[in-house]
Amino acid sequence: MARKIGFYGVLAYVIYALFIYWYLFYFANTSLPFEYEGSKADPATFMNGRELVLSEEYSKIRNILFFLATPFEWIFYLLILLFGLSKVFKDWADKSTKFKFLQTTIYVAWLTFFSFIATFPIGYISYSLSKKYNISTQTFSSWMKDELIDFWVSFGTMVIVVSVLYWIINKSTKRWWLYAWLISIPFTLFMMFLQPVVIDPLYNDFYPLKNKELESKILQLASEANIPAEHVFEVNMAEKTNALNAYVTGIGSNSRIVLWDTTLNRLNDNQILFIMAHEMAHYVEKHLYIGIAGYLLLSLLGLYLTARIMDYVIARWGDSFKLTKVNDVRSLPLLLMIISMLMFISSPLSNTVSRYQETRADRYAIKMTDDTEAAIGTFQELSRAGLSQVNPPLLVKIFRYGHPTMLERISMIEEYELEQRNK
């Protein structure tokens, strides 16, 4: 039975990979609808011929890597269970120490290490791709440093989460999903509070915006929106990427508005003010807190479904997976696989909500700055810098895009301009 499950699992992955390749390279149509040709949303009006070709090439390869990476994790966890490696990790941990917490730490260390090794090639291909298309400026040593930081942060977090989770499961094999969810609430909020001041600085240097004249303009904009901001932060990303970005992170007193220095280098002041107005909209409309509430609701449903699916799988295929009970840490790969699947399945919903919020933020920023030229120029430059498809395939939009497509964003601004002229 184990061989059968493994064979069909790998076969399903291969068929899925072939479908995704066919869809992205042969079926999906990314050409612009004829009514938008020649408009400000038409990439031919703001990209040269080489950029147009490169954006299509880069986007297709990047998209196929995305669609292959997550299901690859499922196959990895499936094979870990079927080959008995999860049991081997547990045996090694049990022989190494008598202390339960240290046993869990050792088990998680082995699972995290093998996961890192298994997924490293995909990560390296993605890094090499971004270097080839001049998106990334990061040296291999710098990229490897970030990968190792990811590994240790992931490992440390996983040890804490798994130790607490399996302690809860041992206490209540029926309602562990509910108790785990209740404990996850303060943990999630605590991690979001720490993110800007503890985790993010591990990767990059953050400091108050150097351009004080620009900072004054941004703070004036914040004042008009009744946002109690004292500083805008910039981060040195030019040594890693040519892409542009700005974002809001953290909660409470640790909330930060952050600009990449690449954004400062490539956009003018009016365009940056539009971006800042967009980010301020998220604060004004409380999108961060709505997002937290939505995440917690989805995680409650996700943990409940995970518990039910784990019970079913162990009851039916426990022998093949070498699992007899849910409260054994050997079931961790199964738990991670199910959670990953549920997150992938739910991503269209979360992306839809995110795109709605981003559209509202765009509208807020346009009304606040009343500068449609800067808004359109910003989106055009974002497309050029990231070699982004203006009109991506439907499946890519559904599963990957937390923002509206550039076609939607620019055409919305053009419609706004038309409305204003007709008033």
* Rounded Cα distance, 320 and 3, in Å: 9
CB atoms inside a 10 Å sphere around CB 347: 16
Q: Is 233 among the domain residues?
A: no
Active-site annotation holds for 419: no
Quick count: other Cβ atoms within 10 Å of Cβ 115?
A: 20
Q: Is residue 220 situated within a structural domain? A: no
pLDDT value of position 420: 75
**Measured between alpha carbons, how far is 156 from 161 in angstroms, rounded to an integer?**
9
Q: What is the rounded distance in angstroms from the CA atom of residue 45 to the CA atom of residue 329? A: 57
Domain count, the chain: 1
Residue 193: predicted pLDDT: 77
Q: Is residue 243 part of a domain?
A: no
Question: Would you place residue 253 in the very low, low, confident or very high pLDDT band (cuts 50, 70, 90)?
Answer: low
Q: Give the domain extent around 408.
A: 2-204+286-421
Is 248 a domain residue?
A: no
Query: pLDDT > 90: what percent of the chain?
Result: 53
Cα separation of 127 and 150, whole Å?
Answer: 15
Q: For the purposes of burial, counting CB atoms within 10 Å of the CB of 317, is it exposed (0-12), middle (13-18) or buried (19 or more)?
A: middle
Residue type, 42: D
- Residue 229 has what pLDDT? 66
Residues 6+ apart with CB under 8 A from 27: none
At 393, the pLDDT band (50, 70, 90 cuts) reads very high
Q: Is residue 121 part of a domain?
A: yes
**Residue 353, domain member (yes or no):** yes
Residues 215, 234, 279, 358: which is the catalytic one?
A: 279
- Residue 293, in any domain of the structure: yes
- Picking from 205, 249, 209, 251, the residue whose alpha carbon sits closest to that of residue 230 is 209
CA distance 198 to 217: 28
Q: How many residues does the chain have?
A: 423
For residue 187, what pLDDT is reported? Answer: 85
Q: Which residues contact 268 (CB under 8 A, 6 or more apart)?
A: 374, 377
Is the residue at 224 inside a domain? no
422 in helix, strand or coil? Answer: coil
Measured from the Cβ of residue 343, the count of other Cβ atoms closer than 10 Å reads: 14
- Pick from 130, 111, 131, 118: nearest CA to 336: 111
pLDDT in tens, 333-353: 999 999 999 999 999 999 999
Largest CA distance in the chain: 78
Residue range 197-230, pLDDT digits in tens:
777 787 878 888 888 888 888 888 888 877 776 7
Provide the CA 51 distance to its chain's centre, in angstroms: 25
pLDDT tens digit sequence for 111-162: 999 999 999 999 999 999 999 998 989 899 999 999 999 999 999 999 999 9
Each residue's pLDDT tens digit, 92-106 = 999 988 888 999 999
Is 270 in contact with 240 (CB distance < 8 Å)? no
The neighbour count for residue 95, using CB atoms within 10 Å, is 10
